[in-house]
Amino acid sequence: MSELIQIFAVFLEGLISFFSPCVIPLIPLYMGYLATNAKEIDENGNVTYKKKIVLIYTLFFILGISMSFFILGLSFTGLGMFFKDNRKIFLEVGGIIIVILGLFQLGILKVDFLNKEKKLKINFNPNKMTKKTAFLMGFLFSFAWTPCVGPALSSTLIMASTASTALLGNLFVLVYALGFLLPFIILGLFTTKVLNLIKRKQNILNYVVKVGAIIIIIMGAYVSYTGFTMEKVKDEATITSTGKVELATPIDFTLKDQNNNTHSLDDYIGKTIVLHFYAIDCFACLDELPNIEKLYNDYNQNKDDVIILGIANTSRNPKKDIISFLKENNYTFTSLMAKDKLFNKYYVTTYPNTYIINSNGNIAFTSFGSLTYESLKEEIEKVSN
Task: Give the CB-side neighbour count of residue 248, counting CA atoms within 13 A.
Answer: 8
Lowest mean pLDDT among 154-158, 200-204, 303-307: 200-204
Return the percentage of the chain with pLDDT > 90, whole number.
25
Decide which of 318 and 220 is more confident: 318
Q: What confidence tier does 145 reach under pLDDT thresholds 50, 70, 90?
A: very low
Return the percentage of the chain with pLDDT > 70, whole number.
57
pLDDT(277) > 90:
yes
Lowest mean pLDDT among 127-136, 312-321, 343-352, 357-366: 127-136
Decide which of 289 and 144 is more confident: 289
Question: What is the C-alpha to C-alpha distance for residues 133 and 194, in angstroms, rounded to an integer?
Answer: 23
pTM for the predicted model, two decimal places:
0.50
Task: Give the CB-side neighbour count of residue 181, counting CA atoms within 13 A.
Answer: 23
pLDDT(150) > 70:
no
pLDDT(331) > 80:
yes
**pLDDT number for residue 274:** 96
β-bridge mates for residue 367, sequence order: 354
pLDDT(16) > 80:
no
Name the burial class of residue 235, with classes exposed (0-12), middle (13-18) and buried (19+) by CB atoms within 10 angstroms of its CB.
exposed
pLDDT (mean) for 285-313: 95
CATH architecture of 237-384: 3-Layer(aba) Sandwich (3.40)
pLDDT(142) > 80:
no
Name the burial class of residue 217, with classes exposed (0-12), middle (13-18) and buried (19+) by CB atoms within 10 angstroms of its CB.
buried
**pLDDT number for residue 131:** 76
**pLDDT number for residue 242:** 42
**pLDDT number for residue 49:** 57
**Which pLDDT tens digit goes with each residue over 231-255?**
554 555 554 444 455 566 888 999 9
**Which pLDDT tens digit goes with each residue over 165-224?**
566 777 777 888 888 778 777 776 666 666 566 656 656 556 666 776 677 677 677 667
Decide which of 141 and 359 is more confident: 359
Alpha carbon separation from 362 to 35, 261, 330 (Å, rounded): 65, 25, 32
Q: What confidence tier does 358 reach under pLDDT thresholds 50, 70, 90?
A: very high
pLDDT (mean) for 102-112: 70
Decide which of 91 and 164 is more confident: 91
Q: What confidence tier does 31 reach under pLDDT thresholds 50, 70, 90?
A: low
Decide which of 259 and 79 is more confident: 259
pLDDT(302) > 70:
yes
**pLDDT number for residue 350:** 74
Decide which of 45 and 343 is more confident: 343
Q: What confidence tier does 50 reach under pLDDT thresholds 50, 70, 90?
A: low
pLDDT (mean) for 142-167: 60
pLDDT(1) > 50:
no
Decide which of 85 and 330 is more confident: 330
**pLDDT number for residue 240:** 47
**pLDDT number for residue 311:** 97
Q: In which residue ranges of the chain is CATH 3.40.30.10 found? A: 237-384
Q: How many CB atoms lie within 10 A of CB 169?
A: 25
Q: What confidence tier does 147 reach under pLDDT thresholds 50, 70, 90?
A: very low
**pLDDT number for residue 219:** 67
Q: How many CB atoms lie within 10 A of CB 304?
A: 10
**pLDDT number for residue 65:** 75
